[in-house]
Amino acid sequence: MKSASMVAPNLAVWPRTNSDQVRAQRLGETLALPVLRTEYTVDADIDMLLIVGEAGISLQRVAKAAPLPLKVDFGSGGMRHRRRGGQNELLGRAVGVGKRENLRVVDATAGLGRDSFVLADLGCTVVMAERHPVVATLLADGLDRARQAIDPWLSSVGARMTAHAGDARLLSPVTADTIYLDPMFPKRGKSAAVKADLALLQQLLVGSNGDDADALFEWAMDEAAARVVVKRPLRAQPLAGAAPSHQLRGKSIRFDVYVRRAFDTAHSV
């Protein structure tokens, strides 16, 4: 029997209703995944479903007592809570919010776009790159819904974000002020329980994410951005062993800030 945490999962696309079938078919072709029928019943070979429905695309583990489907929902209570809770202050300070207007950030490891959304909410223009095709699909779907939201706050924050499916290094040459990296989900440990959605993503990314965070960091440092910022677990070594200019420390994570030059304020809008 395969251990859920060690082996890349088998995925399939599932249209929730008959009217979702065309979109599901298209998604299956794009991602080279099998497309199930709406009246699908659980199949032992499928570990995860990419569910296509009227309310968006979500990822669901196939198992008894599996957690709720994972979806990118920038208007969720969790995102609004994070905004009110003030936890975003460190991230904003790390990337340079307030140092110049309309700060341009490349989030080279966008994942589910949570940090990017926080930065866009703080007024940054954010270009996101996500190389895992399924994660990139969830991200693009969430961004589309945010941009089309009736809520003017949500749609205006979404309008400051763009998403690229693919390796961030394809964005070279980067013209942003700051390149932001959050390359690794924290390792599962006995003491640090990983939230259900992060655990699902960790499982999804098994086998697809090489341990190339140092190389991504070296790439970022070679680009023309004024700053490179790396999110790290509090006690982890800096990426590539490179000493940062300074660190901002939270309860469980820290931001390593590499100042390359002063922010260019000449092009502020």
Ligand X SMILES: C[S@@+](CC[C@H](N)C(=O)[O-])C[C@H]1O[C@@H](n2cnc3c(N)ncnc32)[C@H](O)[C@@H]1O
Which residues in this chain contact ligand X in the complex, by CB under 6 A?
108-109, 111-115, 129-132, 135, 167-168, 182-185, 205, 209, 216
Is 131 annotated in a binding site? The answer is yes
Q: Is 67 helix (H, G, I), strand (E, B) or coil?
A: coil
Least CB distance to ligand X at residue 22 (A) = 28
Is 223 annotated in a binding site? The answer is no
Beta strands at 253-259 and 246-249: parallel, antiparallel or unpaired: antiparallel
Least CB distance to ligand X at residue 138 (A) = 10
Is 197 annotated in a binding site? The answer is no
Q: Which of 109, 92, 88 is nearest to 181 (CA)?
A: 109
Least CB distance to ligand X at residue 212 (A) = 7
Residue of this chain nearest to ligand X (CB atom): 111
Least CB distance to ligand X at residue 123 (A) = 18
Q: Which is nearer to ligand X, 69 or 183 (CB)?
A: 183
144 and 217 Cβ atoms separated by less than 8 Å:
no
Phi first, then psi: give them for residue 4, nearest 5 degrees.
-55, -30
Q: How far apart are CA 182 and CA 46, in angstroms?
A: 30
Q: How far apart are CA 261 and CA 245, in angstroms?
A: 11
Q: Which is nearer to ligand X, 35 or 154 (CB)?
A: 154
Which residues define the annotated binding site for S-adenosyl-L-methionine? 114-115, 130-131, 182
